Amino acid sequence: MPNSFLNRFLKHNTRHEITELYISVAIKNFAFSMIAIFEPLYLYKLYDSISMVFLYYAVVYTLHFFLVPFGAKAAAKYGFEHCIFYSIPFAILYFLALSQIPNYGWMIFAAIIFVVIHRIMFWPSYHTDFAHYSILGFKGREMSAMSSISIAATVIGPIIGGIILTKFGFEALFVIVSIASLISIIPLFATKEKFEPHDFSYKKAFRRLLKPYGRYKRKNLVAYFAFSEETVLIIGWPIFIFFILKEFYLIGILMGVSALLIAIINLYAGKLSDRYSTEKREKLLSSSASLYSIFCFLRPFVGGWVGILSVDFLSKIAKMGIKYPIFTFIYNGGGRRKDFLEYIIFYELSLSLGRIIIIWFVFFLSLYLSGFVFWFTIFTLSGLWAFLFKSAKFE
């Protein structure tokens, strides 16, 4: 995507590194969107057990919590764009491992290892690279541009994924997603990365989490912790929808339509975040958290495609009002990549700690609850969890 197009929309000159990141993430998100919503369904169909699906993700998130500082150490040593590059082969190995689980049951352990390595290599580097190259005062709109481009790229992804699944099955879909993921690394090196290696301490990362100090505020730890509520929805919502609609292609179409509507609105959400004062951002976050909670509470009561689309769409709008104030605050501290890498790991560890707690709790619930009672309980839990966002302070 030419810089001139972005510059006309954003009304300022973006850096070439940001444009490269936009393109790379858009291709990656297109690839991943073909499989993302169907991944929990694949595991459910393999094991015919909701409990096994949540157990799988509980193990993944637990390993992620303890290993993500190693991803930061790799980024500090080899460079952020290089680590994004290195993460993609592990994503491909992950998809290929998933495809072979029906033939070799032990491949599920390989899949867990590959996806954890991919995530700890990708996310710290992605956040740090974006924070460093995005321009102060325009973080929100550059984030909204990134998000809108990524969402737009995912509009047809679920639809294509649903059609491929219906016609050819999961194995063919995994291969196609792997090829598209490989293409996503090409734009990253159009401009040579400027990088100075530095040290990153594993012990200090956990020390900042357990005893927050300075800008590592306990209230923000709780707010980042709250992002773990989406873990239940990422895993449970696709399975819940499948029980209602029964068809992969219908799920893909609904999620594609929802993504299209969100992409349009999303373009302007970041601009508002840049214009808002700190006090207004906190008020927006608080009201959005309340709305988001309400939509979580409504999820178990939807009974058709209209209800599914409405709740999914409205909850994503409310989530914008949470995400943009928080990430504008986070990215505003990203001028120096060394310091910001430490802060983003503080965010990642806070988020991961929340994921571990909520996912293991839901796993144990799944052993004793079923049907409407189970869905009502976990979606209500997500709604209550979202109230923790209100603790955020943008000082």
pLDDT tens sequence across 175-195 = 888 888 888 887 776 666 667
Residue 349 pLDDT exceeds 90: yes
Q: Which residue has the higher pLDDT, 211 or 347?
A: 347
DSSP 37: G
Taking each helix axis as running N to C, give the angle between helix 248-275 and helix 305-331, from 0 to 180 degrees, rounded to the nearest 10.
40
- What integer pLDDT is reported at residue 218 of this predicted model? 79
Mean pLDDT, rounded, for 307-311? 91
Please state, in angstroms and rounded to a whole number, the distance separating the CA atoms of residues 61 and 44: 18
The CA distance from 303 to 101, in Å, is 33
70-84, 175-189, 369-383: which range is least confident on average? 175-189
pLDDT band at 146 (very low <50, low <70, confident <90, very high): low
Residues in the chain: 395
Rounded-to-integer distance, Cα 149 and Cα 130, Å:
14
Confirm if 356 and 66 have CB atoms less than 8 A apart: no
- Write the DSSP assignment of 238-277 as a string of letters: HHHHHHHH--HHHHHHHHHHHHHHHHHHHHHHHHHHHHS-
Residue-level pLDDT at 2: 45
- In degrees and rounded to multiples of 5, residue 244 shows phi and psi of -90, -50
Question: Is residue 158 a contact partner of residue 269, using CB atoms and an 8 Å limit?
Answer: no
- Measure the CA dihedral 139/142/145/151, to 10°: -60
What's the pLDDT at 121?
Answer: 94
322 pLDDT higher than 80: yes
pLDDT at residue 7, as a whole number: 47
Single pTM value for the model: 0.87
284-305 pLDDT, tens digit per residue, is 889 999 999 999 999 999 988 8
Task: Give the residue carrying structure tokens 């460079």.
Answer: 79
Distance, CA of 50 to CA of 48 (rounded, Å):
7
Q: What is the CA radius of gyration of the chain?
A: 20
CATH number at 16-189+201-391:
1.20.1250.20
The predicted structure's pLDDT at residue 94: 92
